[in-house]
Amino acid sequence: MKDPLPNEPEIEPLTRSQLLVAMGVTAVILLVVAKLWLQLGSVSLLSIKLTGLDALLGVGLGCLITGASSLVYRLWPAYRKSADIYLNLVLKPLFWPDLIWLGLLPGLSEELLFRGVMLPALGLDTSGLVVSSLCFGILHLSGWEQWPYAIWATVVGLLLGFCALSTGNLLVPIVAHIFTNLLSSFLWKLDKGGASNSLN
């Protein structure tokens, strides 16, 4: 059995049902915010083109993010501690089939809001990319001790946003985000707390 993490904050773990409900509610809230922003903000959703090449690019990007995340986990102790706390809370109670929801719900809702709506609203340029990525990182900040996880989420947001800008296709970050969450959470569950992590 793994030793408890030093100075681990006393956070009451959620049950499987509570986690699934929380994921669903969060996804709905993000989708409602995106929809309202589209309606009230006179902004257009970044286009989604269903092409095989862009889907493959998304899968490749998901593999790259998962591999880089595993490397950062091994090399940066503060991130490893932060990720372990987060992943024990989020992944431990879930069953294997639940990982599909962990991939789909955040992957779709977060990409539609942050890359699909926020990025075009702020400007399809460097400043829009940076601000939307910072907001994406802040979403993953569940407490001050989680700052390394939020920094990594910001870096991932920059990469996802850059791919959205360079391809002009929201499909790429959507597929990458879903695939990253599925692959990294699968690897974490397989290893029961090993060197992979998930982006929710």
Percent of the chain with pLDDT over 90: 76
Cβ distance 1 to 81 under 8 Å? no
User: For residue range 114-148, what is the model confidence (pLDDT) as tens digits?
Assistant: 999 999 999 999 999 999 999 999 998 888 888 99
In the prediction, which pLDDT does 143 show? 81
Q: Could you read off the pLDDT of 53-70 as tens digits, one per residue?
A: 999 999 999 999 999 999
- Report the C-alpha gap between 158 and 187 in whole angstroms: 24
Residue 96 burial (CB count, 10 A):
10
